[in-house]
Amino acid sequence: MEVVITTFPWEVVLILAPLFGALSCFLWPKSARYLALSTVFVSVLSVVALAIRLITTGSYRHAIGGWRAPLGIELLADGLSLLMLGVTAVVGLAITVYSTGYFPNRQLLRFWPLWLLLLAALNALFLSGDLFNLYVALELTGLAAVALTALSGGRAALISAMRYLFATLLGSMSYLLGVVLIYHSFGSLDIMILAQRVVQSPVVWSAMGLMSAGLALKTALFPLHFWLPPAHASAPAPVSAALSALVVKASFYVLLRLWLEVFPPGQTAMLGELFGALGVAAIFWGGLQALRAGQLKLLIAYSTVMQVGYFFLAFPLAMAAAWCGVLYLLLSHALAKAAMFLAAGNIIYFSGHDRIVDFDRIANQLPMTLAAFALAGVSIMGLPPSGGFVAKWLMVEASLKSGQWWWAFALIIGSLAAAAYVFKVVGHAFTQTTVRGQTNAVPALMEWTALALALTSILLGLVASWPLAWLEIGGMFSCESAR
Amino acid sequence: MTTELLYALVGVGLFSLGLYALFVRANLLRKILAVNVMSSGVFLVLVALARRTGAVAPDPVPHAMVITGIVVAVSATAFALMLMLRIVQETGRAELPDTWSE
Amino acid sequence: MSASATLPLLILGSSLLPGLVIFFLPESKVRIRTALNLSGALLKLVFVGVMAWGVFNGTTYETRLPLIPDLEFVLHADALSLLFVTLSSVLWLVTTVYAIGYLEESPHRSRFFGFFSLCVTATVGVAMAGNLLTFLLFYELLTLVTYPLIVHRGTEVARLAGLTYLRYTIAGGALLMIGTVWLYTLCGTLEFTYGGFVREFASASTNRETLVVIFVLLTAGLGVKAALVPLHGWLPQAMVAPAPVSALLHAVAVVKAGAFGIVRVIYDVFGIEFAANLGVTLPLAILAAVTIVYASVRALFQDDLKRRLAFSTVSQISYITLGVATVGPIAAIGGIVHLVHQGLMKITLFFCAGNLAETLGIHKISEMDGVAHRMPWTMVAFTLGALGMVGVPPLAGFVSKWYLGIGAMAAGQEWIVAILVGSSVLNAAYFLPIIYTAWFKESKGTWPAEQPRGRAETRWTLLLPPLVTALLALGVGLLASAPFSPLDWAQLIAGREYGR
């Protein structure tokens, strides 16, 4: 058994299973829900097996079809990819289970194949070992995400999907141009090889700029965030959860990999400062807009804009504690934001709207949903005990240790803003309103998945040492040293 | 200047023209065309850079990249056109309302 | 895990687990909920008793779990934590009985008792925290789980009071967090150590100003919950919560957590000598003195009974801060023992206020004419509590003030004696009229909202708790010189800190 787990190419399963699942959902739409569920279960099991393999034998590369680079495609599995795959599997499972309740029997059957395609693309992205594979995976993710956004077919959804499409295409093309320049200068697309070959030069400068701009656009960093709030707010709740929790992380992951392995350290300082400044702007702008939002999903979308700002604060800090902090932030934010959107979905299902001031004693009617939202909010606010708190601690520590205390200041202000808008929602959930409307009973499954995800983000705060230890597989960086 | 450099510069020029049109033009069809022009520019740069000086045959890897890129661009264009048709159906106009604001 | 490492976790679990289960109980299951509540409270008392016995015999209880790389989650039982844990556990049991009676027939009791249990868990966690990180964790948790209790009634007033509460406490928490992280980057450790760890671990390059700023950050963050002026604004607003909440949390647990934190920071983080050296103790003492006087003056002008008690709490908690900030063992004893004494007396007063509101609909002092004839036992308890607050011997309050006064003189800070005398006069000025009104004025005949009278003046679940706590307040005062009294304990704690 041990031998099977440690030698089987689980990463191939992780990409192929959702692909085949998507095809079968397309061919047999009537049983799409069950096919999707089984596919996602297979993914979760594969991630567990991959984790066991990585922990016992270390990171490794897999050549698809036995063809080595440069013409063949190699998949890379190390600690960072494992953690991203893990969170994708967990959030994916929750969203799939939730969607079986959210999309009643025959509605929106197109959701399932598109959703599984998105999962396949995400898995492929996190397992890619070379720049061009990342490009393909980025495009796939983008197209699947846009299609999911447009799914409900309403006017707002279609328009925001179109805008999203343009943004994602622009981002990918900018990235591709950068890849071209890098390939021309150093003759390889493979990340490991490039890590050794890349040296400072004007061409690398342009490539860095192009790729960073493209990826920042796809991650919705201020001021390139304009497409995100309408898209995430008008998509159906499970889709919004996937977009905010996973898709945004994918392009950031690519940027992180490039920054840590490909971009030459000497040239990154100025770009890092720029990212930091834009991150601070994102925190302020996103926080402000979230406070002003009257609708719950728009509030949560702006919260994503704000949290993306946090992510980019790691670049000017550029030390072990900062990378570990931002990674932990990626994980907890994914779980917490997905939980928030699922909770919002429950509220919309229940009362038909998501106007915050018109919430009618949601605390009494949907206690589990509100608990899910509040617990997820605890992680978003960075209050203990939660994954968000551990992340915030690590990043504040990095900021104070390196003497660049202004980033810590921005983080704290962001947490206060987050507290303000989270409790704005919670406070209104306790009070009643004069206008009563029709209500529908929410299936227990939907409430439980939201709560389970929120609890996971809290749990992440209690078991921090293990994920951070797994990060070290592959030797990218360590969270213990340099403290 | 060498042929490769000329092609590459044309490619970059196409990219910039496409970028400009994407921002400035309001009609959706023109925006989609602009994206296509941009991608053509990138592919042109790729093909140009595939020619290695002093070698017998050009580098196959950029060619593979271009082919993949074309496939992606075609699918993306098809999707974009369909989305545009749906928008025309819903709103009667092939434009995005208030382009840069929420 | 060994027995000595599991006991602190058991103490946490005895309120955490019943709380989590209660959340899922349907409203109608009154018996099960009551059984869970009471058994949890009793179990916690048993565990605390076992721990106290063990510590007395020299056993060390410590739980260590990994939390963040290089920083652990630490629960530790020393004399100071035992003092606070015992107080919290005893008062939780009493308040649970009271709350069961008070909320009879009220909606959403499962939600209420669920969060109530979580609050006690957080308080006990604060008490047993062995390093600043664990303290911060439970401190912030306390903020989060007390919020639903404040907005429990779901009115607009409650929502706004909750917002005010959050504004203060979350901002305070942010300050506390920055101070903690900064201190960690300078010292590399956050473990509570006798005599403080800053002097030993702070790198040589750290200058005094930085340490002073960190001290200010920590004290400000803690001072929000400890209701130091000008950070006290949330406390009077929070009185909109049901009486059991006001009683336990705002008179005892939340405000005590803040004051307890200040004691920890001064004794086990900086060390009293080092803190005095930095020059931060005198400003803190002055701030505490200002709070004492200001809040007492504000209390004079309140007609709403609970608001007057709220301002009294603001004032009285600062006695603890004052005692600790006065550099001298005797004043420290006075401050630390007041942790217990004030808790007992204040909770009695809040229980009685709740009784008056629940049985007769009385919220204002002007409505209390002659109420002692209708509710004699409640008013006896109230009188005992009030006289203790004023500092009448042999009640508990007198003991604390006596030690504070003697200690102030011994430390050369005679002005503190003036503050003590002045505030006692003010206490008398705002408590004695209430007693006079209740006992000696003619009642107006009808009460604002009277419940039908049973055999006793009110339900026994509402009557027994204040009597018990009032007797305890009397007892700890009378028997202050007995071994194992709170005073004895406080002497032990101060002795450890100053004996170095």
Per run of 10 residues, the mean pLDDT along chain C (length 500 residues) is 82 89 85 88 90 82 85 88 90 90 84 91 93 93 91 86 91 93 88 82 77 92 91 87 84 89 90 84 91 91 89 91 87 88 91 88 85 86 90 85 89 87 90 88 77 74 88 85 80 76
Domain enclosing residue B45, as ranges: 3-91
Per-residue pLDDT of chain A (483 residues; tens, 9 = 90+): 777 777 788 888 899 999 999 999 989 888 888 899 999 999 999 999 998 888 888 888 888 777 776 667 788 888 889 999 999 999 999 999 999 888 876 667 789 999 999 999 999 999 998 899 999 999 999 999 999 999 888 888 999 999 999 999 999 999 999 999 998 888 888 888 888 888 888 888 889 999 999 999 999 998 999 999 999 988 999 999 999 999 999 999 999 999 988 888 777 888 889 999 999 999 999 999 999 988 999 999 999 999 999 999 989 988 878 888 999 999 999 999 999 999 999 998 888 888 888 887 887 888 889 999 999 999 999 998 898 999 999 999 999 988 888 899 999 999 999 999 999 998 888 877 777 777 888 888 899 999 999 999 999 888 888 888 888 777 666 666 443
Euclidean distance between CA atoms C179 and C172, whole angstroms: 11
Whether the CB of B46 is below 8 Å from some CB of chain A: the reply is yes
Q: Is residue B19 a part of any domain in this protein?
A: yes
Amino acid identity of residue A240, one-letter, is: S
A464 vs C67, C166, C181: nearest CB: C67
Instruction: Tell me what pLDDT residue C158 has.
Output: 87
Euclidean distance between CA atoms A240 and A99, whole angstroms: 12
Whether the CB of A131 is below 8 Å from some CB of chain B: the reply is no
Euclidean distance between CA atoms A250 and A254, whole angstroms: 7
Give A78's DSSP letter: -
Domain total in chain C: 1
pTM (2 d.p.): 0.90
Task: Give the chains touching A; criterion: ≥3 Cβ pairs < 8 Å.
Answer: B, C
* Tokens, residue A115: 């959703």
Q: Is residue B96 a part of any domain in this protein?
A: no
C353-365 burial, b at 16+ Cβ within 10 Å, e below that, comes to bbbbbbbbebbeb
Interface with A, mutate which of C108, C181, C186, C206 (most A CBs under 10 A): C181
Q: Is residue C278 a part of any domain in this protein?
A: no
Question: Are the C-beta atoms of A271 and A315 separated by less than 8 Å?
Answer: yes
CB pairs under 8 A between A and C: 88
Euclidean distance between CA atoms A247 and A118, whole angstroms: 9
Q: Is residue B97 a part of any domain in this protein?
A: no
Q: How many Cα atoms sit within 13 Å of C84 on the Cβ side?
A: 29
The predicted-structure confidence for A123-176, as pLDDT tens digits, reads as follows 999 999 889 999 999 999 999 999 999 988 888 899 999 999 999 999 999 999
Q: How close, in Å, is residue B3 to chain A by CA atoms?
A: 16
Question: Are the C-beta atoms of C220 and C231 separated by less than 8 Å?
Answer: yes
What is the C-alpha R_g of chain B? 17
Domain total in chain B: 1
Interface contact B86-A177, CB threshold 8 A: no
Q: Which of residues 190-249 of A touch B (CB under 8 A)?
A: 226, 229-230
Euclidean distance between CA atoms C305 and B67, whole angstroms: 81
Q: Is residue B100 a part of any domain in this protein?
A: no
Q: Is residue B17 a part of any domain in this protein?
A: yes
Interface contact A428-C67, CB threshold 8 A: no
Whether the CB of B100 is below 8 Å from some CB of chain A: the reply is yes
Euclidean distance between CA atoms A192 and A187, whole angstroms: 13
Residues of chain B positioned with their CB less than 8 A from the CB of A159: 87, 91, 96-97
Q: What angle do CA C129, C134, C138 make, to 5 degrees?
A: 85
Residues of chain B positioned with their CB less than 8 A from the CB of A139: 72, 76
Whether the CB of C201 is below 8 Å from some CB of chain A: the reply is no
CA C72 to the chain's CA centroid: 26
Instruction: Tell me what pLDDT residue A481 has.
Output: 47
Task: Please report which helix (H) or strand (E) contains residue A79, including its range.
Answer: helix A79-102
A427 vs C23, C69, C162: nearest CB: C162
B80 vs A165, A183, A230: nearest CB: A165
Q: Is residue C434 a part of any domain in this protein?
A: yes
B102 vs A162, A183, A226: nearest CB: A226
Q: Exposed, middle or buried, A443 (CB in 10 Å: 0-12/13-18/19+)?
A: middle
Whether the CB of A176 is below 8 Å from some CB of chain B: the reply is yes
What is the SS3 assignment for chain C?
CCHHHHHHHHHHHHHHHHHHHHHCCCCCCHHHHHHHHHHHHHHHHHHHHHHHHHHHCCCCCEEEEEEECCEEEEEECCHHHHHHHHHHHHHHHHHHHHHHHHCCCCCCHHHHHHHHHHHHHHHHHHHHECEHHHHHHHHHHHHHHHHHHHCCCCCHHHHHHHHHHHHHHHHHHHHHHHHHHHHHHHHCCCECCCCCCHHHHCCCCCCHHHHHHHHHHHHHHHHHHCCCCCCCCHHHHHHHCCHHHHHHHHHHHHHHHHHHHHHHHHHHHHCHHHHHHHCCHHHHHHHHHHHHHHHHHHHHCCCEHHHHHHHHHHHHHHHHHHHHHCCCHHHHHHHHHHHHHHHHHHHHHHHHHHHHHHHHCCCEHHHCCCHHHHCHHHHHHHHHHHHHHHCCCCCHHHHHHHHHHHHHHHCCCHHHHHHHHHHHHHHHHHHHHHHHHHHHCCCCCCCCCCCCCCCCCCCHHHHHHHHHHHHHHHHHHHCCCCCCCHHHHHHHHHHHHHCC
Residues of chain A positioned with their CB less than 8 A from the CB of C9: none
Whether the CB of A291 is below 8 Å from some CB of chain B: the reply is no
Domain enclosing residue C486, as ranges: 337-500
Instruction: Tell me what pLDDT residue C345 has.
Output: 92
Residues of chain A positioned with their CB less than 8 A from the CB of B35: 166, 169-170, 173
Q: How close, in Å, is residue B49 to chain A by CA atoms?
A: 7
Interface with C, mutate which of A395, A407, A431 (most C CBs under 10 A): A431
Q: How close, in Å, is residue A424 to chain B by CA atoms?
A: 22
Residues of chain C positioned with their CB less than 8 A from the CB of A416: 170-171, 174
Instruction: Tell me what pLDDT residue B61 has.
Output: 84
Mean pLDDT across chain C: 87
Q: Is residue C90 a part of any domain in this protein?
A: no
The predicted-structure confidence for C431-457, as pLDDT tens digits, reads as follows 998 888 888 888 777 777 777 766 777
What are the residues facing C383 on neighbouring strands?
Answer: none
CA A449 to the chain's CA centroid: 18
CATH of the domain at B86: 1.10.287.3510
Q: How many residues does the structure list for chain C?
A: 500
The number of beta carbons lying within 10 Å of the beta carbon of residue B73 is 21
Q: Which residue of C has its CA nearest to A418?
A: C170
Instruction: Tell me what pLDDT residue C172 has.
Output: 93
CA C54 to the chain's CA centroid: 25
Interface contact A159-B91, CB threshold 8 A: yes
Q: How many Cα atoms sit within 13 Å of A178 on the Cβ side?
A: 25
Interface contact A464-C174, CB threshold 8 A: no
Q: Is residue B55 a part of any domain in this protein?
A: yes
Distances A394 to A329, A361, A413, B97, C137 between C-alpha atoms, Å? 10, 37, 16, 42, 15
**ipTM (interface predicted TM):** 0.93
The predicted-structure confidence for B76-99, as pLDDT tens digits, reads as follows 999 999 999 999 988 888 888 765
Interface contact A419-C141, CB threshold 8 A: no
The predicted-structure confidence for A132-143, as pLDDT tens digits, reads as follows 999 999 999 999
